Amino acid sequence: MAELWPKCSDGTLMEPLDMLLSLFPRRGAENWTSETCFVMVPSPVPNFVKSSGLYDSLVAYFSSSLADEILDSVRTLVLLSLMITVAMVLSFCVCNRLSSNFRNVAPAHKKWYVIAKLFKVALLGILCISKKYWAAVYRTYYFDQFLAIPLKRTMAIYAVSDVVALWMVPKLPTSRIIHHVTSTVLFFLACGNDMTVQGWTGNLGVAKMIVVYGNFITVAYLVNAYLALRVLYPPNSRMMNLLCLMAFCSYVLCCTGNWGVHLIWFLHGLKTLSFSVAALPYLVAVRFLASGDIVLLQWLWERSSPAAKNQNKDKKTTTE
């Protein structure tokens, strides 16, 4: 099996994340550990444009590395969305034919919910098992060294599952639609900033905190696995009870760390008065996302804790 797995130029086995990023070839895009950030070569500017003062600022921007990063991020998100859409359709057909549990899911539109969640688990799992991803996270937070294109492509891998769910999953609840739209908007806001600049204040600080939020949620991918598999398998089985408990514990740790880091950032911003105008809508968005996290934590607790299950049964008996 190892002989069939793709290899890097040095002969080592290629990581799943490298295979995913290699679908979008670009000079330097595979460099996760370089000391310096990517240097983009500006495109040549025609003479008639150079002589026109009206377009100077636009030409300067669209030949900059930041504009190049934004275009690359959008291209990556679009191509990934198309690939995931096709893969979801094929997976739906295969599962519907081979799996009786999947075929018997009712109502039928929940099948797309299961497929979307499993694809999200696969994408986030690829990130979590990658050594290069964790090396980049370490350098990001310990040295404040944000890589440019690899970071934003990784953000696109996270955001694509929410984007595709908006058009592939029928009858999404309004709260989930708002959640997916919010995460997609935050992705584009983060991509519009030059992450290679040092510091955590102003609009740059907001963009970096979006990355922090996404990194914490990425680690809690077991929650999505439980949400998908509970539709296919009996929720009271030993396997599902264990998965629910693991999902709950991982989500508690991720949410606690996430909220703690945001609280420290918020208090530091108040102390130094370093907030930008973008901080207020971002905090509102985080407040909305956090409320959804709390509801999900309560729901997982009710299904993972024997004491909570017995308490719910007692309440039901009393009501009846």
C-alpha gyration radius of the chain: 22
| Nearest Cα residue to 210 out of 122, 218, 116 | 218
Tokens 């370089």 belong to which residue?
A: 34
Q: Considering Cα of 262, then 266, then 271, then 272, what sign does the dihedral take? A: positive
Structural tokens at position 306? 């024997």
Is the Cβ–Cβ distance between 151 and 197 less than 8 Å?
A: no
Contact 200, 117 (CB under 8 A): no
- pLDDT value of position 94: 94
pLDDT of residue 113: 93
CA distance 9 to 34: 17
Residue 127 corresponds to which tokens in the numbers above? 């990130």
| pLDDT for the residue 152 | 85
Helix (H, G, I), strand (E, B) or coil at 74: helix
Q: Round to whole Å and give the CA distance between 78 and 126.
A: 19
Give the DSSP letter of residue 201: -
Rounded to the nearest 10 degrees, how much is the dihedral formed by the CA atoms of 71, 75, 77, 80? -160
Q: What is the pLDDT along the chain (320 residues), one digit of tens a residue?
A: 555 556 666 666 666 666 666 665 554 444 444 333 333 334 444 444 444 454 455 444 444 567 777 888 888 899 999 999 999 999 999 999 998 999 999 888 899 999 999 999 999 988 888 888 888 888 888 888 777 778 888 888 888 989 999 989 988 888 788 888 888 888 888 888 888 888 888 888 888 899 889 889 899 899 999 999 999 998 888 889 999 999 999 999 999 999 999 999 989 888 888 888 888 888 888 888 888 889 899 999 988 766 555 554 444 332 22
- In angstroms, the CA 73 to CA 135 distance is 21
This prediction has a pTM of 0.76
